[in-house]
Amino acid sequence: MTLVPKGYRFAVAAAGFKKADRNDLGLILSVGPAVAAGVFTTNRFQAAPVLVCKEILADSPVARAIVVNSGQANACTGEEGLANCRATLDIVAKAARVEPAEILPTSTGVIGAQLKMDLWAEAGLKLAGSLGRATPMDVAKAMMTTDSFPKLVGRSVQLSGGEVRVLGMCKGAGMICPQMATMLGFVLCDADVDPRPWREMLSAVADKSFNALTVDGDTSTNDTVLALSNGASRVRAESKADLELLRQCLLSVCQELSYRIVQDAEGGTKVAHITVCGAKSHPQAEMAARAIGNSPLVKTALFGCDPNWGRIIAALGRSGADFDPREVVLKIGGILVFENGQPSPEDLDALLAPCMRHQDVQIELVLGQGRGTFTLLASDLTKRYVEINADYRT
């Protein structure tokens, strides 16, 4: 059973935003004020809920609720979209009996369409009736779009004053290439923690989890990760040791959610763990890893279980990272493939065939230039991915 932090209630509703008789609206409510943090898409076209959410977080260090809808992105909808987003907060506020400014809005769906406001009033009544009866899994399912399974991870950690719990949920399977991705992620915690370290913690953790994966190289307009911590456990996280333990727990939850996103890549069959080390700097290592993880040729080779290591080397060569080709060492599944500017003399096709058939494929590159490192999770590129996205609106 998934561990649920103390002091949270959940609600869902079938509003009919895209399909009838399917929960597509979810609410997470804290019993009291919770310190709130958020990280958002860097796409210049930011959806209305992203803009409103950022305003709310800028005005207050605390929030009471998160509302999420699927089927309507409310992105590229102008002033009308912003007004509609704020109107939905008024509706949800009545259902949750909180103030609109205490609710953080999130949306996912097709870009460009205005919210179906005629459906929101009735949906608000349904949320009110569901509050306290729904589960975190219900909310995780309600925000799914092309996901094939809900993503929910719970952990607990023992601090000096007692146990605190961290629960994370997210959606995302395609249009994934953070900073950030077409993903929504929510993290709930019951620790008593100050706003500043909580916000710093989420930002740092996101860089090592949600900002370290790719499915298709596309960054969405709605990407949002929100974190609430309401202190309901009455366990204070204040000392350096306790804050570090809490950070590690938060990181564990977010990295597991990130893995599940890549695992659930639209039509995906592989998770490539691409580690670049020995770069001149961490950004140089990231540059190299992203060039490999976003390469259609590398991704299709993964799908075909083809140990075509030349595609990896070629992607590295055009990445923009600074290195000496003669210093590069490549290993796949722990097997030495390339060094000293040339391939290993072994029968690489035969040696690599077993590891290429695994769901998880380890790709390690050593550049021999410094101490920069970065690990990226990347999916393969499949026929099913093309089918899903070719038919997304039809």
Tokens of 97: 């009996």
Q: 368 lies in a domain?
A: yes
The reply to whether 361 and 247 lie within a common domain is: no
The reply to whether 181 and 246 lie within a common domain is: yes
- Which domain covers residue 149, as residue numbers? 8-263
Q: 291 lies in a domain?
A: yes
279: helix, coil or strand? strand
The reply to whether 80 and 186 lie within a common domain is: yes
Q: Are 74 and 114 in contact (CB under 8 A)?
A: yes
Q: 3 lies in a domain?
A: no
The reply to whether 90 and 156 lie within a common domain is: yes
CATH number at residue 290: 3.10.20.340
pLDDT value, residue 180: 41
Distances 290 to 32, 209, 222, 261, 337 between C-alpha atoms, Å: 41, 14, 21, 17, 20
Decide which of 212, 234, 263 is a domain's last residue.
263
Q: 293 lies in a domain?
A: yes
- In this prediction, the residues of the chain whose per-residue pLDDT falls under 70 are 1, 173-182, 216-219, 389-394
The reply to whether 380 and 250 lie within a common domain is: no
- Which residue carries 């039809």 as its tokens? 394
* 336-341-346-352 Cα dihedral, nearest 10 degrees: 50
The reply to whether 223 and 368 lie within a common domain is: no
What's the whole-model pTM score?
A: 0.85
Q: 209 lies in a domain?
A: yes
The reply to whether 22 and 162 lie within a common domain is: yes
Decide which of 213, 236, 263 is a domain's last residue.
263
Q: 24 lies in a domain?
A: yes
pLDDT value, residue 109: 86
Q: What b/e sequence results for 359-381 when a residue is b if at least 16 CB atoms lie within 10 Å of its CB, and e otherwise? A: eebbbbbbbebbebbbbbbbbbb
Q: 2 lies in a domain?
A: no
The reply to whether 234 and 282 lie within a common domain is: no
pLDDT value, residue 154: 96
Phi (first) and psi of residue 384, to 5 degrees: -65, -35
pLDDT value, residue 40: 93
| Of 380, 391, 377, the residue nearest 183 (C-alpha) | 377
Does residue 182 carry a catalytic annotation? Answer: yes
The reply to whether 237 and 296 lie within a common domain is: no
Amino acid found at 328: V
User: pLDDT tens, 294-329?
Assistant: 999 999 999 999 999 999 999 999 999 999 999 999
What is the helix (H) or strand (E) element at residue 184, kind and residue range? strand 184-189
Q: 33 lies in a domain?
A: yes
Tokens of 189: 């915690």
Q: How many residues make up the chain in this entry?
A: 394
d(CA 288, CA 312): 10
Tokens of 89: 């907060």
The reply to whether 102 and 202 lie within a common domain is: yes
Domains of the chain: total: 2
Q: What b/e sequence results for 76-87 when a residue is b if at least 16 CB atoms lie within 10 Å of its CB, and e otherwise? A: ebeeebbebbbe
| Of 86, 43, 297, the residue nearest 181 (C-alpha) | 43
The reply to whether 370 and 249 lie within a common domain is: no
Tokens of 222: 């709605």
pLDDT value, residue 167: 98
Distances 95 to 84, 212, 227 between C-alpha atoms, Å: 17, 37, 22
The reply to whether 228 and 165 lie within a common domain is: yes
Distances 254 to 75, 307, 351 between C-alpha atoms, Å: 25, 30, 34
Interior angle at CA 123, CA 121 and CA 129, nearest 5: 115
d(CA 365, CA 328): 7
Candidate list 41, 146, 182, 373, residue with the active-site label? 182
CATH number at residue 22: 3.60.70.12
Decide which of 220, 243, 263 is a domain's last residue.
263
pLDDT value, residue 60: 97
User: pLDDT tens, 226-272?
Assistant: 999 999 999 999 999 999 999 999 999 999 999 888 887 777 788 99
Of the chain, the end-to-end C-alpha distance in Å amounts to 38
